[in-house]
Amino acid sequence: MSQTPAVLGRQIKSAQGLKSVIRTMKTLAAVSIGPYEKALQSLNSYVRTVEMGITSFFRNADPLIYELATKKPSGALAVIVFGTDQGMVGGFNDQLARFVTENLREYKGDTLVWPVGERVHLKLPDGPFHLMAPIHVPESVETIPGLMSQLLTEIESEREKNRVTGIQLFYNQPSSSHGFEHIRESVFPLDKNWLSGLKALPWPTRIFPELFGGANVMFSALVREFLFVSLFKACASSGVSEHATRLAAMQRAEKNTDERLEELGRAFNQLRQSFIDEELFDVISGFEALKKP
């Protein structure tokens, strides 16, 4: 179909409307990312407190407890995968699902996978894994603790039935070079190198704390708190990555729309100028024809 000023005008109007929608979505993504970033920042002091508790415990605990806490998993492995159910995030779920599959391929025991998000649940293969029912992605930072409690309860239930001896987290973390990077984090059993690093840190006071109560009760409480902060961090990092990816996608879409509007504007001006030139040529031709005897 030949381009006319009316057709180009409609295309320009449509592109302007699309740009308005993109700008709104870009603003929403920029606003949504803030609470997740603040949650990660405020979590640092809590994480440090839990780490100090673990350090204090293992300096006084029975070496047998240390061996049990750092022993390689021999039973079922609990895996939690943090995806997203929102659009405009590129390969957020697809790439993460492939990363999970590749990293768990060599594990010989049973693997129980809790997908956070229905879309990432559909991307994970059901053959090598036992996929649990998908869990809704938190809609805001305020709803993350509820998700954490649900996951911890379900994992504890499966631990008693299927001898779960290991817990791993898979999620996307913000990256300045690629938008996001895939993270595999083993939260239990505890990493020996990580524990050694904690023990090497200086204690902030001159008096070292003493432990009261049963060692098993204290250890269970510390591990549960450590799992909670690890899950919260993974979920919040996934949220930051999701909104940052969407923000970058909207910025690219806005740039492409601006380039399209500039292209349509040039075409419209050229077409309008050609119509004006034709009309002037007709007027001049008629005037010259009238001048001839």
Give the pairing type, strands 76-82 and 164-175. parallel
Residue 287 has pLDDT above 70, yes or no: no
Tell me if 136 sits within 8 A of 119, measured CB to CB: no
User: How confident is the prediction for the chain on average, in pLDDT?
Assistant: 80
Q: Which of 266, 262, 267, 252 is nearest to 15 (CA)?
A: 262
Q: What is the pLDDT of residues 165-186, one digit of tens each?
A: 788 999 998 877 667 888 898 8
Share of the chain above pLDDT 90, in %: 2
> pLDDT per residue over 135-146, tens digit each?
888 888 888 888
Strands (E), 65-163: 76-82, 111-116, 130-131
- Dihedrals φ, ψ of 181, to 5°? -130, 150
Q: 103 pLDDT band (50/70/90 cuts)?
A: confident
- In the chain, beta strands by DSSP E: 76-82, 111-116, 130-131, 164-175, 179-188
At 117, list the tokens. 């998000």
- For residue 161, pLDDT over 80 is answered with no
Determine the pLDDT at residue 1.
Answer: 47
Instruction: Say how far residue 220 (Cα) sits from the centre of its chain.
Output: 29
Task: With beta carbons less than 8 A apart as the criterion, state whether 242 and 93 touch.
Answer: no
Fold of the CATH domain 62-202+212-246 = Pyruvate Kinase; Chain: A, domain 1 (3.40.1380)
What mean pLDDT do residues 12-34 have? 78
> Which strands form 111-116's sheet, in the order they lie side by side?
130-131, 111-116, 76-82, 164-175, 179-188
Residue spans per domain, the chain = 62-202+212-246
Of the chain, the percentage scoring pLDDT greater than 70 comes to 91
Does residue 106 carry a pLDDT above 70? yes
Q: At residue 30, does pLDDT exceed 80?
A: no
Of 272, 242, 253, nearest to 117 by C-alpha is 242
**Confidence band of 155 (pLDDT split at 50, 70, 90):** confident
User: Residues 83-96: pLDDT tens digits?
Assistant: 888 877 778 888 88
CB proximity list for 130: less than 8 A, separation 6 or greater:
110, 111, 112, 113
Which of 116-130, 136-150, 163-177, 261-275 has the weakest average pLDDT?
Answer: 261-275
Amino acid 277: pLDDT: 65
Task: Report d(CA 234, CA 136) in Å as an integer.
Answer: 15
Instruction: Of 17-21, 151-155, 192-196, give the lowest mean pLDDT range.
Output: 17-21
Q: Is the pLDDT of residue 133 over 90?
A: no
CA distance linking residue 104 with residue 129, whole number of Å = 9
Residue pair 166/73 in contact by the 8 Å Cβ criterion: yes
The arithmetic mean of pLDDT across residues 231-248, rounded, is 85
Which residue type occupies 238?
Answer: S
Report residue 125: phi and psi, to 5°.
-75, 140
pTM: 0.78
Task: Determine contact, residues 202/267, Cβ cutoff 8 Å.
Answer: no
Torsion of CA 178, 180, 182, 185, to 10 degrees: 130
Burial class (CB in 10 A: 0-12, 13-18, 19+), 98: middle
Please name the residue that has the structure tokens 């409690």: 149
Mean pLDDT confidence for 252-281: 76
Consecutive H or E run containing 6: helix 5-60
Residue 107 CB burial class (10 angstroms; 0-12, 13-18, ≥19): middle
d(CA 122, CA 134): 9
Round to whole Å and give the CA distance between 117 and 147. Answer: 12
